[in-house]
Amino acid sequence: MQQLDLSNISKAVILTIGYELLQGRVINTNASFIARKLYLLGINVKAMLVVGDDLRDIVEALRLSVSSFDADMIITTGGLGPTPDDRTLEAIATFAGLELEVNPEALKDIEAKYRSKGVPLTEERLKMAMLPQGSIPLPNPVGIAPGVYLALTRPKVIIIALPGVPQEMEAIFEKYIEPQLRKSRRLILAEGHIRLRTMESEIAGFIKQVSKSYPSTYIKSHPEGKELGKPVVKIYISAYSQDASSAEKLCTEVLRKFIDYAHERSIDIAEVQECRSAT
């Protein structure tokens, strides 16, 4: 397989495709899986978009990913199968101004999988080997339809199309995409949290103050108890830096601010998770 160039990726959009998502029949676990992976790799997920199996909607979502969110990379899931409503690759080709063509590598892989089970290659099955010109197929370790890598110059964006079946999507992402992103990543993430027995509204002002003092960190509160009752608020802290040591140091410095704040005001600390880097 050809080498994938995933260097200089800093902004991504996740585009999940399928009416089953819009109808609430399927929970969108694909988006959360990819978002968490990218977050830990120091890539800023600018947006998560969900559209149905409509060609125009998919094309418009791709355009929006570039024009409104300035994405370096778009990762799509869903719509790579053999049925008429699987139109993701057609939409990508339309967006890029390319033709669909039979990819020899994809065809060889798909044909071998069906042949091993004594199943003929029909027109519908051949459809899964029809990729946009210039694509690199990403073999599917647990299914049939390959993923697709396509690097465009106009607009300058990398599009990665993955299957909608979670096990297949995860297998392709972890085998081909994640290692390349990890190899070329420029920032290391460290994160920790503290859980305080206080009202979120009580600590909101201090969160604002600390966030202003540490603009390169991300601080987010999540209320877990009742504001007027038995309040508990969990405060997440994340920091990026060029190396793990610097990221952990910055994250810890912010975490200490909240520990000191709690001690000064006799706020009960329910839990502290020390800052650790995601390596």
Q: What does the pLDDT read at residue 66?
A: 98
Q: Please give the model's pTM, rounded to 2 decimal places.
A: 0.92
Fold of 11-184: Molybdenum Cofactor Biosythetic Enzyme; Chain A (3.40.980)
Give percent above pLDDT 90 in the chain.
94
> Which residue is listed with tokens 């969108």?
28
Average pLDDT over residues 118-138: 97
The CATH 3.40.980.10 domain(s) of the chain lie at 11-184
The CATH 3.30.70.1120 domain(s) of the chain lie at 188-277
Structure tokens at 137: 């197929």
Question: Looking at the predicted structure, is the pLDDT value of residue 278 above 90?
Answer: no
Average pLDDT over residues 134-144: 98
Question: Looking at the predicted structure, is the pLDDT value of residue 234 above 90?
Answer: yes
Average pLDDT over residues 133-160: 98
- Note the pLDDT tens digit of each residue in 16-66: 999 999 999 999 999 999 999 999 999 999 999 999 999 999 999 999 999
- Of the candidate CATH numbers 3.40.50.12780, 3.40.50.20, 3.30.70.1120, 2.30.30.140, the domain formed by 188-277 belongs to 3.30.70.1120
Question: Looking at the predicted structure, is the pLDDT value of residue 153 above 80?
Answer: yes
Contact 62, 51 (CB under 8 A): no
Structure tokens at 218: 């991300």
Bridge partners (DSSP) of residue 221 are: 235
